[in-house]
């Protein structure tokens, strides 16, 4: 029996692990973005493997980089046209604040900018450069707006900056549709790739759920084989043991008594454990059910005994000041206990009634 029990414990440990994996799969489905998945309901969609998705992503990134390089080249042409203008020289280098004695420059201008700084950032290879063309465009505007902000409207620098900014905006408007088209294309490609990845993960979790279901089914079959093997090798429970089992059932708490009845119902489909009146015939139960009940009752009563001993120790350490609290709490729990005791009494009466019937049949 100890050998079988150890083997069953190992199987139950495996079942717990499988249940955890099933929970992970269920959590995945609960957290799936249904909005994205619904886009594929009306139209069948081929979901490439994760490996192929990575390959496709590399190709898309390479193609996007090539298109972006072309846009940068066109934007570079615009910059050259602006920087080669005869009025561009004041904006090519950072403002010489000390040399020009512009003591209040940094109080007026929050972020200085010039075309040399822009060029260096465009050529940066260490990841500190611009992420897209719009960032460069914003800094070009900043060069001229800083000059217009710091210098008086009638000053030469202000007029030069305003004129060059206007020319830049005109040229930028010509390039903007291509930039917008590329941004939209990248956004659609990323959304499609994300959807494919989501569907691939969904398919992988679906396969995992099927595999887990099969494993759980095999474990269940194995347990059933073990149950039958144990029943065949175990001796039959004697009449005296059945009597003691019936008496022990009456000692269980209402909650544990309900669990015991669930054991009976599990292997006796006709038995209704939750009915208002329960007629439990110990003699009518199978050997496997009786053994399960016996072990359950034995373990449960041991736990109840330890719990009662622990409560007694705690009660001995409580002072007389708690007597009033005990009386109040007992009043509040009388209704709950009466309901539990009523359920327990009904089941115990059913056991006694069944035993009485058996004794009458024997005497007759």
> Are 215 and 68 in the same domain?
yes
pLDDT at 137: 95
Asked whether residue 298 is assigned to any structural domain, the reply reads yes
Q: 38 and 63: one domain? A: yes
278 shares its domain with 356:
yes
Looking at residue 266, its pLDDT comes to 78
Locate 301 and state its tokens: 């009563």
pLDDT tens figures, 178-237: 999 988 988 888 887 777 777 777 777 677 777 777 777 787 777 777 766 766 666 788
Q: pLDDT tens across 297-312, in order?
A: 888 888 888 877 776 6
Which of 203, 234, 265 is where one domain is finished? 234
| Claim to verify: residue 305 and residue 194 sit in the same structural domain | no
The last residue of a domain, from among 194, 213, 234: 234
Instruction: Tell me the percentage of the chain whose pLDDT exceeds 90.
Output: 26
At residue 101, the pLDDT reads: 92
Same domain, 170 and 217: yes
**pTM: predicted TM-score of the whole model, two decimal places:** 0.46
The verdict on 249 and 270 lying in the same domain is yes
Question: What is the domain count for the chain?
Answer: 2
Q: Are residues 229 and 250 in the same domain?
A: no
Let me know whether 215 and 280 are in one domain.
Answer: no
Supply the pLDDT for residue 328. Answer: 47
Task: Region of 184 please: left (phi>0), alpha (psi -120 to 50) or beta.
Answer: alpha
Which residues in the chain show pLDDT less than 50?
33-44, 320-321, 324, 326-333, 335-336, 361-362, 364
Phi, psi of 341 (to 5 degrees): -65, -35
Show the domain range for 221. 1-94+150-234
Same domain, 223 and 288: no
Residue 218 lies in a domain: yes
Q: Is residue 213 part of a domain?
A: yes
- Residue 33 in any domain: the answer is yes
């Amino acid at each position: 029996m100890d050998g079988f029990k150890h083997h069953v414990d190992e199987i139950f440990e495996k079942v717990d692990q499988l249940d955890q994996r099933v929970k992970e799969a269920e959590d995945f489905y609960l957290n799936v973005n249904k909005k994205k998945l619904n886009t594929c309901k009306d139209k069948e969609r081929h979901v490439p493997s994760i490996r192929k998705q990575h390959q496709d992503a590399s190709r898309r990134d390479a193609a996007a980089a090539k298109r972006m390089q072309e846009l940068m080249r066109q934007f570079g042409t615009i910059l050259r046209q602006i920087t080669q203008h005869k009025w561009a020289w004041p904006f090519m280098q950072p403002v010489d604040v000390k040399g020009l004695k512009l003591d209040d420059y940094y109080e007026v201008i929050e972020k200085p900018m010039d075309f040399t700084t822009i060029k260096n950032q465009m050529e940066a290879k260490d990841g500190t450069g611009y992420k897209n063309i719009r960032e460069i465009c914003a800094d070009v505007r900043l060069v001229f707006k800083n000059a217009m902000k710091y210098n008086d409207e009638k000053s030469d620098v202000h007029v030069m900056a305003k004129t060059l900014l206007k020319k830049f905006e005109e040229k930028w408007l010509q390039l903007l549709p291509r930039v917008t088209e590329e941004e939209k294309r990248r956004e659609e490609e990323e959304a499609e790739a994300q959807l494919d990845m989501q569907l691939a993960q969904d398919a992988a979790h679906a396969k995992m759920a099927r595999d887990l279901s099969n494993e759980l089914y095999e474990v269940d079959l194995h347990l059933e084989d073990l149950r039958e093997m144990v029943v065949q090798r175990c001796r039959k429970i004697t009449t005296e043991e059945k009597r003691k089992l019936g008496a022990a059932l009456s000692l269980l708490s209402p909650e544990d008594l309900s669990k015991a009845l669930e054991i009976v119902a599990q292997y006796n489909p006709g038995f209704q454990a939750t009915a208002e009146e329960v007629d439990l015939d110990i003699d009518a139960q199978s050997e496997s059910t009786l053994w399960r009940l016996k072990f359950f009752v034995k373990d449960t009563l041991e736990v109840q005994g330890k719990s009662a001993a622990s409560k007694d120790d705690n009660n001995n350490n409580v002072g007389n000041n708690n007597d009033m609290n005990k009386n109040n709490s007992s009043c509040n729990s009388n209704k709950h206990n009466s309901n539990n005791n009523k359920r327990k009494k009904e089941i115990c009466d059913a056991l006694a009634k069944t035993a009485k019937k058996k004794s009458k049949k024997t005497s007759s």
